[in-house]
C-alpha cells in the first residue's frame, strides 16, 4: 500500500513539473516576441523576461545653419566654377571658415550625426530591426534676412546617410526647394550590443550665375529623428552554433 501511494505521489509531482515548465516556456516566448518601439524622439524598447535586450533610438532635432556673404556668392562667377558652401551647427561657430566675413559655413563637407540606435544586452543570435524617420524642416533665418524665402531650384541640397547598419530611403543630394518633409529608414542591429548612426549634410551651391537674393541671408534646416511607429522593432533569431 505504501509503495502504491509513493508511486502516485511521484507521478503527481512529475505532472506538476511538466505543467510549470510549459507555462514558463510559453511566457518567455510571448515576451520574446513582444518587443516594440513607439514614436518618440528618444524611445526605449525593453523586454524583462529572458535575455532579449534593449533598443534605444535617440535623436531629437539637429539644426544645420547656412549664411554666405555677398563677396563669397560672387566667387563662382569670378572664377567660372561652381563653389559649394556647407552648413554647420552652433558648436562650429565662430571657428568656421566663413566667420571672418560674417558667414556661417564650411568649404568642406560636414556630416553631422542626427540620430542613433543602441542595442544593449541583446541575444548574440538575434537581429533587431527598427524603423525610424527623419523630418526635414526649413526654419526662418535671422533678422538680417531669411534665405529660405529666396530659395530657387538648384540652390540648396541635403543628404541623409546611414552606416553599415542603417539604411535610409533615397535622400542623397536632395534639392531643398522641392524636397518632401519626411524620410524613412531602418536600423539593423546584431549581437549582444551594437550601435548604428544616421548623419546629414547641407550645402549651398554657388553657381556660375547671379544669386544675389541669397547673399548675406541666413537659413536653418532642422533634421528631426524619431522612431517610426509604423515600423516597430522586430527580432529575428538564428540557431546557435553547436
This prediction's pTM: 0.74
Q: What's the pLDDT tens digit per position in 67-81?
A: 888 878 777 666 666
Read off the C-alpha cell for 187: 536600423
Query: What is the total residue count of the chain?
Result: 242
Q: What's the pLDDT tens digit per position in 134-152?
A: 999 987 655 557 888 888 8
Q: In the chain, at which residue ranges do the beta strands (DSSP E only) sit? A: 43-46, 54-58, 60-67, 83-86, 112-120, 126-139, 156-162, 166-168, 174-175, 182-190, 194-206, 218-227, 234-237
**For residue 12, is the peptide bond before it cis, meaning its omega torsion is within 30 degrees of 0?**
no
Higher pLDDT, 170 or 137: 137
> 211: pLDDT confidence band, cut at 50, 70 and 90?
confident
Q: Is 95 buried (19+), middle (13-18) or exposed (0-12) by CB count in 10 A?
A: exposed
The pLDDT mean for the chain works out to 77
Task: Identify how many contiguous H helices and E strands the chain contains and give both numbers.
Answer: 3, 13
Query: Phi and psi for 234 in degrees, rounded to 5?
Result: -130, 160
Task: Provide the residue ranges of all domains of the chain, joining segments of one domain with +.
Answer: 33-237
Q: In 105-211, at which residue ranges do the beta strands (DSSP E only) sit? A: 112-120, 126-139, 156-162, 166-168, 174-175, 182-190, 194-206
Q: What's the pLDDT tens digit per position in 151-167?
A: 889 999 999 999 999 99
Per-residue pLDDT, averaged over 29-49, amounts to 36
Amino acid at each position: 500500500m505504501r509503495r502504491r501511494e509513493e508511486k502516485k505521489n511521484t507521478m503527481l509531482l512529475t505532472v506538476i513539473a511538466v505543467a510549470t515548465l510549459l507555462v514558463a516556456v510559453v511566457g518567455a516566448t510571448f515576451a520574446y516576441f513582444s518587443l516594440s518601439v513607439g514614436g518618440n524622439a528618444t524611445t526605449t524598447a525593453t523586454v524583462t523576461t529572458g535575455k532579449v535586450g534593449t533598443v534605444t533610438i535617440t535623436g531629437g532635432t539637429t539644426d544645420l545653419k547656412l549664411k554666405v556673404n555677398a563677396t563669397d556668392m560672387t566667387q563662382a562667377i569670378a572664377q567660372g566654377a561652381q563653389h559649394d558652401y556647407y552648413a554647420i551647427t552652433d558648436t562650429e561657430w565662430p571657428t568656421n571658415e566663413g566667420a571672418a566675413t560674417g558667414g556661417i559655413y564650411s568649404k568642406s563637407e560636414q556630416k553631422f550625426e542626427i540620430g542613433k540606435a543602441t542595442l544593449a544586452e541583446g541575444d548574440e543570435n538575434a537581429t533587431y530591426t527598427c524603423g525610424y524617420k527623419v523630418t526635414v524642416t526649413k526654419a526662418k533665418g535671422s533678422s538680417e534676412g531669411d534665405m529660405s524665402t529666396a530659395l530657387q531650384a538648384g540652390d540648396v541640397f541635403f543628404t541623409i546617410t546611414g552606416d553599415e547598419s542603417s539604411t535610409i530611403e533615397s535622400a542623397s543630394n536632395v534639392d531643398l526647394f522641392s524636397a518632401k518633409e519626411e524620410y524613412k529608414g531602418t536600423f539593423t542591429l546584431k549581437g549582444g550590443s551594437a550601435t548604428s548612426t544616421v548623419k546629414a549634410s547641407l550645402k549651398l551651391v554657388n553657381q556660375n550665375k547671379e544669386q544675389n537674393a541669397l547673399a548675406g541671408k541666413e537659413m536653418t534646416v532642422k533634421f528631426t529623428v524619431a522612431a517610426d511607429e509604423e515600423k516597430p522593432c522586430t527580432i529575428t533569431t538564428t540557431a546557435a552554433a553547436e
